[in-house]
Copies of this chain bind each other. A is one copy, B any other.
Amino acid sequence: MVSTVVRRSWKPATTDMFTLAVDVMGGDLGPRVALRACRNLLRQRSDIRLIVAVTAVVAAEAGRLLGRSARVQLLICSDQVDMNDKPSRVLRGGLNSTMAAAINEVREQRAQAVLSVGNTGALMALSRHLLGTLPGIDRPALATLLPTRGKPLLMLDLGANLSVSSGQLVQFAALGWSWSRLQRGGNPSVGLLNVGREATKGTDCVRNADQQLRALLGDDYHGFCEGDDLYRGELDVLVTDGFAGNIVLKASEGLSEWLLELLQQEFRHHWLRRWLAPLWLLAIRRIEQRISPARHGGALLLGVNGVVIKTHGKSDARAFRHALRYVLQQLEQHNAAALSDSLQMLQSRLNSVNE
């Protein structure tokens, strides 16, 4: 069975309109949460059109929640990608899955970006297959902006590449450096995550990457960083493999949730503190907001030829709302040609260094 596109009462796109493809299937909490977030986004922003990929089972509910809008198309697919599916199986499935169909909308230039809640490995494999990668990039990396004491930190990879070569770490650094320079200007400071700052520390892989990055980025390369440098706020970009990156990001989420819980308990514990609740609740909420992007934002698949965003598998309505906002922000700032030029420049610099 091939995917069916239902395009009823579709509002023609104007130049100031964004069209997003959204794969709502495959999250831990089911598609309803994502569908509601889509409905809210349509209400809030009149310059957004959505192409929502769903399976036949969910189509009725999607129609009910979104069907009345003239800015929605439903893409009804025969299959969906599950958390357990291996990338190889997903690639064999062609365009039948909601994830593949949504990415294909970007390839066919019917959408400017795609958002998925599903399996990271599958999203990576399908995006790479359908959209291709940027110059000099073998495999894209998942990246996100982490809040820190100072400037936000672009960290990559966060789980798309579990075992990496030193060459791939250098590619991630080139991606991060280029993205950061385009988005924020100036000379981004790039660090490489390791178990110590000394040049003798770490695996052969990170030590080789360290040597190459010194030659490639010059003064913009900050050298090895340790785990406690993540929140210092001195770096623009931090590079690591997807295994360590994924674990460190999720551990940080878990720890900040626990600390906020401890704080709430402490203040409920004492009658006088409970009585003064308005005073400290505001303070706790401000701290929560300050650190929340790490817990609720989306992650960008950097290095693929298009804007692909992944949200958490456990995304709740709030996380989905944040992710949709993140896609729009990326879209508004995205400059594929400039990113490509920057990577090509680094690629030729790297070739001349290696010659």
Which chain A residues have a beta carbon within 8 Å of chain B's beta carbons? 83-86, 121, 148-149, 159, 162-163, 193, 195-196, 198-203, 226-232, 240, 242-244, 246-259, 261-263, 266-267, 269-270, 272-273, 276, 279-280, 283-284, 286-287, 290-291
Contact = CB atoms under 8 A, between A and B. Distances in A.
B198 A83 contact: yes
A166 B230 CA distance: 29
19 contacts: A83-B196, A84-B199, A162-B195, A193-B247, A227-B246, A227-B250, A227-B254, A228-B250, A228-B257, A230-B251, A232-B254, A240-B247, A243-B244, A255-B256, A256-B259, A259-B291, A262-B290, A270-B279, A280-B280
The DSSP consensus for interface residues of chain A is helix
A248 B248 contact: yes
Contact of A267 (B83, B262, B283): B283
A193 B270 CA distance: 37
Number of copies: 2
Given A202-B243, A228-B251, A262-B290, 4 more contacts: A227-B249, A231-B251, A248-B251, A273-B280
Nearest to A285: B266
Count chain B CB atoms within 10 A of each CB in A148, A258, A270 and give the residue with the most: A258
A280 B251 CA distance: 27
Count chain B CB atoms within 10 A of each CB in A148, A255, A261, A283 and give the residue with the most: A255
A253 B248 CA distance: 12
Contact of A195 (B159, B195, B201, B259): B159
A155 to B, nearest CB: 10
Nearest to A160: B195
B286 A266 contact: yes
B258 A259 contact: no
Contacts of A201: 121
A255 B135 CA distance: 36
B266 A253 contact: no
Contacts of A254: 227-232
B228 A253 contact: yes
A192 to B, nearest CB: 12
A289 B289 CA distance: 25
A195 B247 contact: yes
A197 to B, nearest CB: 9
Given A200-B86, A273-B283, A283-B266, A247 B259 contact: no
Given A162-B203, A248-B247, A198 B84 contact: yes
Nearest to A251: B227
Count chain B CB atoms within 10 A of each CB in A195, A200, A290 and give the residue with the most: A195
A190 B216 CA distance: 43
Contacts of A261: 149
A193 to B, nearest CB: 6
A309 B226 CA distance: 21
Contacts of A148: 258
A279 to B, nearest CB: 6
A84 B200 contact: yes
A255 B252 contact: yes
